[in-house]
Amino acid sequence: MKKTLTKLTPLFSLLFIFTLIALPYAVSADLQFQFKNPLAFSTIEDFLVAILNVVIVIATPIVVLFIIYAGFLYVTARGNATQVEEATRALTYAIIGGVLIIGAVAISKIIANLVGSFAAP
């Protein structure tokens, strides 16, 4: 019983918080229910670009930290082949992650330009 209650407590807490946040948007002064957009974005494209920008801001320092970690592994390897291999693998994965982030930005710009070229003036 205690385990079930422990698992459900965060769920009910989140539900309560979401209800308190959404209530002012859902109920107007004349008690008619309506949905007001709580986001500052008018299109899905703007929303997805904002999400991508947040991911970039979070992922870029992580990639830099992994590159520093790989350098630390190289320094502490002191010629040990298995540790050098681990450091090489860490550096390779960090660089691949950085390239994926840059690729996501490039692909989003290409798609935005392509869709914009077909849009009606």
Per domain, the residue ranges of the chain are: 1-38, 40-121
Nearest-angstrom CA–CA distance, 82 and 75:
13
The whole-model pTM stands at 0.60
Q: Tens digit of pLDDT for each residue in 9-36?
A: 777 777 667 676 766 665 554 556 666 7
Question: To the nearest 10°, the Cα dihedral for 51, 56, 59, 65?
Answer: -160
Nearest-angstrom CA–CA distance, 95 and 106:
16
Asked if pLDDT for residue 70 goes beyond 70, the answer is yes
